[in-house]
Amino acid sequence: MAQAAETRAHGGDLDRAAARYGGSRAQWIDLSTGINPHAWPLQQALQSMPGSVWQTLPDHQAQDRLLDAARRVYGLHPSNGIVAAPGTQALIQLMPRLASGDRVAVRHPSYNEHRGVFADAGWQVTTAPDVGTVVCVNPNNPDGHRTASSDLIDLAVRVGTLIVDEAFMDMTEDDSLCRLPLPANVVVLRSFGKFFGLAGLRLGFAVGAPETMERISRLLGPWAVAGPTLHLGAAALNDHRWIAEMKQTLSRETLRLREMLASAGLDRLSGTDLFQTAEAPDAAALHETLARARIWTRIFDDWPDHIRFGLPASDAAFGRLEQALSQGVT
Amino acid sequence: MAQAAETRAHGGDLDRAAARYGGSRAQWIDLSTGINPHAWPLQQALQSMPGSVWQTLPDHQAQDRLLDAARRVYGLHPSNGIVAAPGTQALIQLMPRLASGDRVAVRHPSYNEHRGVFADAGWQVTTAPDVGTVVCVNPNNPDGHRTASSDLIDLAVRVGTLIVDEAFMDMTEDDSLCRLPLPANVVVLRSFGKFFGLAGLRLGFAVGAPETMERISRLLGPWAVAGPTLHLGAAALNDHRWIAEMKQTLSRETLRLREMLASAGLDRLSGTDLFQTAEAPDAAALHETLARARIWTRIFDDWPDHIRFGLPASDAAFGRLEQALSQGVT
C-alpha cells in the first residue's frame, strides 16, 4: 500500500538504494540522512524497564518525566510549554490545522515535508518572506543556513504563525528559540531521534506558549507517545554526560568529514555537525559513483549541484568514503 | 501540562485512583480497562530485534511485514487496504478530516473519544441514527451491543461516511467487517493493544477501500509507527497459536467473571470477552466500595446505574474481587 513517504524523496531509503544498485543493507554505508550514527546506548534502560510500560496505557507520570527531561536539555524558558509527539513528522502533519491563513512561506531549499504537508492541505506555498504563516528550519536542512533568534522574534511580530523547525539545533542549544519566552503564534519543533541516533523510536517535541501547546495536545489526542518511548526518551535526555561528550564527538567528526570532502575538491561546504552539504557541479554523477561503491548520499531534484553527506559511523566508513571520493570527484 | 486525555474520563487512570484512595500502583487490581491482562510475551522478539530497528527510520519492508500479518489475522477481504497508526486513537483524531458533512451520529452509550474528537472539531454530535457521518463501535463499549455486518453494509449506502470501531472484535473475527469488500465511504478501526495486552506499544489499524486508506496514510504522514512497534506487532500477529489459545482463555475467564458477578447479584450483564458491564442501581457506591479494596473499576458520568469490569489477571485477583463484591453489593 502506498505511503505518503513515497511521494516525497527522503534520505534513509536504503531499501531503494539496495534494490537499484545491489548489495544487502549491511554492505551499504548510509550517509543519506542527518541521523547520528552513534546511537545513545539504550540496552540498560530497556532491560530495567518494567513490563507494565508495554502493557498499560502510557501514564501521566511517565509523560511528565519525559517532558521535564526535555525542558532541561532544551533550556526551556519557564514560561514556555512543551508537548511530546510520536516523531516531529506527526507535529508537521498538524501544522496546517494550527496555523493561520491559507498561504505559507517556506525557504528554498528546505526540508520538503513542510511545503508538502501544507500543499496537501490546500495551502498556497510560496518562498516569499512574509505571508500569513512562515516556516523556518533553523539551522536549515540541507544548506545549514542559520537565522538569529532576534530575527525570528522580530519576524513573529509581522506574521500570523511562525513555525521554527530546530531538528538540528542540539549541537548549538544557545541559539535555540526554546530559551526565549515565546508568543502564542510561534511553534518550535524539536527532534529527538536525530541527535540521539534513535530515529526508529519516533519522538519529537513542540515548544511554545502554553495555550498553543494545549491546542497541539488536543489535536494529538491522548496516549500519543508509546510507553517505551516515554521511558527510553527520558533516560536518554537525562544522560547529560553522554550528551556533552557526543557534541564533542560530532564536532570532531564533522571537521574530519569537511577536511576529507575538501581534499577531494568539494570545498564549498555548509551544514551542521550532523551533515555537510557540498556544492558539486555534477552532484548526480557523484551520487551515482558513490552508490556503486555502496555509499548512499542525498541529492535533491529541486536543488541540483548539491550533495549532502551524513557522518560516517566508523574509521572504516571514513576510509571507504575517502576511497570512493578519489574515484568520483573529477 | 494539560493533555486532552484529562478532559475525557477513561479507564486505566490508576495514578488517579492511587492518589485518591491510597496505595501504590502495585497494590491495585486494575479492572478499569478492557485490556487483556495476559500480555503477549514479547521478550524473545525484543531480544532478537536488531539495533537498527531503534536507530534508523522505520522502513517499508518492516511496515509491509506488519500489514501482511494483520491482513491474515483480521481476515481482510483481498480488495481492502490497511494502514497502521500509532494507536487507534491517532486514527480517531483524523476522522473529522476524512468524514463528510458537519453532523455525526454516535450511539449512546459508547466510547467517548469518538463524540469528543468530532465535537472538538466543531461538528454537531447527535444520537440520531442517520446523518452525514455515523460512528458505530461494534461490539459496542461499554454495553457490548452488536450490530450485524449486513446491517452496517446497508447503513453505509444511506450515509456519507460510516466509521466502524472494532476495538473489541478480536474474539469474534467472523463478525468483522474487514472480511467484506468495503465501499470507499467506510472505515473500520482495529486496535492491537487490547487483545494482545500491549496498550503501551500504541498500534492500531484502519481498514477500507484502497483509495480511502491512501487518504488516511497521507494524513498520518511518513514513519507514523515506530520501528520497534512494527517489529513486535508483526511478531505478535504472526503468533497464531497464541492467538487461538488466548481466545479460549479469555472466553473461559469471562464466563468465570460473569458467574462471580451474577452470584453477587449483578446478573444483568453484557459485554465482550475483554470486559463485562453490569446494571447496578448504585454503581457509584459499588465503585467506591471496590476502590477502598484497591480494585479499580469503570463507571460512567453520562450512563449511571452501570459499572464495567475488565478481566482479573489471576486467581488471586478473582479471589479479591469475590471478597470485595461480597461487601459491596447490597
Q: How far is CA B210 from CA B83, B156, B169, B206, in A?
A: 9, 17, 22, 11
Question: What's the mean per-residue pLDDT of chain A?
Answer: 94
d(CA B233, CA B74): 14
CA B100, A216, A169 angle in degrees (round to 5)?
130
Interchain pair B223, A39: CB under 8 A: no
What are the backbone dihedrals phi and psi of residue B248, each rounded to the nearest 5 degrees, phi first? -65, -45
- Average pLDDT over every residue of A249-266: 98
The string of pLDDT tens digits covering residues A34-80 is: 999 999 999 999 999 999 999 999 988 999 999 999 999 999 999 99
Residue of B nearest to A36 (CA): B55
The more confident residue out of B241 and A10 is B241
Q: Do B221 and A54 touch (CB under 8 A)?
A: no
For residue range A276-306, what is the model confidence (pLDDT) as tens digits?
Answer: 999 999 999 999 999 999 999 999 999 999 9
**Strand runs labelled E in A225-291:** 269-272, 275-279
Query: For residue A128, how far is the Cα from the chain centroid?
Result: 24
User: What burial letters (b/e) apply to A91-115, b meaning 16+ CB within 10 Å?
Assistant: bbbbbbebbeeebbbbbebbbbbbb
Are the C-beta atoms of B192 and B184 separated by less than 8 Å? no
Q: Which three cell numbers, joined as nine digits, stand for A208?
A: 511554545
Name the grid cell of B114. Answer: 469518538
Q: Which residue of B has its CA nearest to A58?
A: B200
B223 contact residues in A (CB cutoff 8 A): 5, 87, 89, 199, 202
Span A144-150, mean pLDDT? Answer: 97
Q: Contact, A258 vs A276, CB < 8 A?
A: yes
Residue A2: what pLDDT? 35
Average pLDDT over residues A143-157: 96
Looking at domain A5-39+241-328, its CATH class is: alpha beta
Mutate to test the interface with A, among B32, B54, B79 (most CBs of A within 10 A): B54
Distance from CA of B256 to the nearest CA of A (A): 23
User: Rounded to whole angstroms, what are the CA distances from B3 to A59, A84, A216, A225, B310?
Assistant: 11, 10, 9, 12, 25
User: What residues in chain B have per-residue pLDDT under 70?
Assistant: 1-7, 130-131, 329-330
At residue A330, does pLDDT exceed 60? Answer: no
Strands B161-165 and B29-30: unpaired
A151 touches chain B (CB under 8 A): no
Domain ranges of chain B: 5-39+241-328, 58-239
**Interface ipTM > 0.90:** yes
Q: Is B91 on the interface with A (CB under 8 A)?
A: no
Whether the CB of B63 is below 8 Å from some CB of chain A: the reply is yes
Contacts of B166 (CB under 8 A, 6+ apart): B138, B176, B177, B178, B188, B189, B190, B191
Q: How close does chain A come to B202, measured CA to CA in Å? A: 5
Q: Is the pLDDT of residue A133 over 60?
A: yes
A3:B60 CB<8 A? yes
Strand ranges across the sheet with B133-137: B81-85, B204-208, B186-191, B161-165, B133-137, B103-106, B124-126
Instruction: Report the residue of B6, B15, B49, B57 to disrupt the A interface, i.e. the one with the largest count of A CBs within 10 Å.
Output: B57
Which grid cell sits at B139? Answer: 461490539
User: Tell me, what's the pLDDT at B5?
Assistant: 40
- In terms of Cα–Cα distance, which of B219, B151, B221, B157 is closest to B186? B157
Q: For residue A1, what pLDDT band results from cuts at 50, 70 and 90?
A: very low
Strands (E), A79-196: 81-85, 103-106, 124-126, 133-137, 161-165, 186-191
Query: CB A221 to CB B81 under 8 A?
Result: no
Strand-by-strand arrangement of the A275-279 sheet: A269-272, A275-279, A306-310, A298-299
Please tell me whether residue A265 adopts helix, strand or coil conformation: coil
Give the B window 218-247 contacts with A, CB below 8 Å.
218-229
Q: What is the mean pLDDT of residues A92-119?
A: 94
Percent of chain A as helix, strand, coil, to the nearest 5: 45, 15, 35
Name the residue in chain B with its Cα closest to that of A9: B222
User: What is the per-residue pLDDT across A158-217, written as a single tens digit (0 to 9) for each?
Assistant: 999 999 999 999 999 999 999 999 999 999 999 999 999 999 999 999 999 999 999 999
CB atoms within 10 A of CB A330: 9
Q: Do A5-39+241-328 and A58-239 have matching folds?
A: no
Q: Which fold has domain B58-239?
A: Aspartate Aminotransferase; domain 2 (3.40.640)
Neighbouring C-beta atoms of residue B213, cutoff 10 Å: 22
Q: Flag if A59 and B14 touch (Cβ within 8 Å).
A: yes
pTM score, whole prediction: 0.95
Phi-psi label, residue A87: left if phi above 0, alpha if psi -120 to 50, beta otherwise:
left
Q: Is A204 on the interface with B (CB under 8 A)?
A: no
- Amino acid in position A217: S
Cell 494545549 found at: A214
Angle at B188 between CA B182 and CA B194, to 5 degrees: 145
Q: What is the pLDDT of residue A3?
A: 38
